[in-house]
Amino acid sequence: MKYTIAIVDDHPLFIEGFKSYLSLNEKIQGIKTALDGQQFIDMLSTTYEPNIVFVDILMPILNGIETTEYIKTYYPKVKVIALSSLESIEHVEKMIDAGVDGYLLKESTPQEIDKAIDAVMSNNNYFSNKILLSLSKKTVIEKGGTGRGIHQVPLSSREREVLAMLCKGCGRREIAGKLNISERTIDKHKENILAKTGCRNLIHLVVHSIKNELVMIDSLLWY
């Protein structure tokens, strides 16, 4: 399957560099760009609806949060990946509330960008490793690293294993292989975890789990 991509960012030099990199990906067949959210929204129509849009957060006229909200309201099939130099919990949560499918830092490696594209096109969510690390460190500082949250939600030992691996960015096939259980069982565990935590999707679950210490901080520091 070939993907169409849009890049929405108010820094022309960054756009050109990122566009050049994406053009090397054989799965991508078309790339369009916009300098702010409103310009991109004006491009959207019945004849143009990209598979993925990379959105900066701080932009003039219409910022990334507002742009994401519009896209997810009127073009819900479009996958949105935040691409920003910001890694504050506040901005991460606002983008999650807006419906973002992934969150990358502009310093992300090419491998991480490719992984994020594959993840969202497989209807999964993707968090930058450094975002997870940043969230983890801030949780330790703000809460003192008590680990108490692990006992606040009635997760089974298997569900805690699955949750930790989901927070690390592991896919259902990888988790099933490591735990020697079926992918269907993984889906059921994920469904139960989301229900017990009250989270809407995986990306929301990751932030919720880190902030409420449902996973041990050390288990996320895998690189």
87 pLDDT more than 70 = no
Does position 139 have pLDDT exceeding 70, yes or no?
no
User: Which residues lie below 8 Å from residue 135, measured CB to CB, with a gap of 6+?
Assistant: 89, 92, 207, 210, 211
Whole-angstrom CA distances from 96 to 168, 204, 219 are 18, 6, 23
Q: What is the mean pLDDT of residues 5-26?
A: 93
Q: Which domains does the chain have, with CATH numbers?
A: 3-127 (3.40.50.2300), 145-220 (1.10.10.10)
Q: What is the mean pLDDT of the chain?
A: 83
Q: What confidence tens digit (pLDDT) does each residue in 141-186 have?
A: 455 554 444 446 788 889 988 988 887 767 788 889 999 999 899 9
Rounded mean pLDDT, 97-113: 88
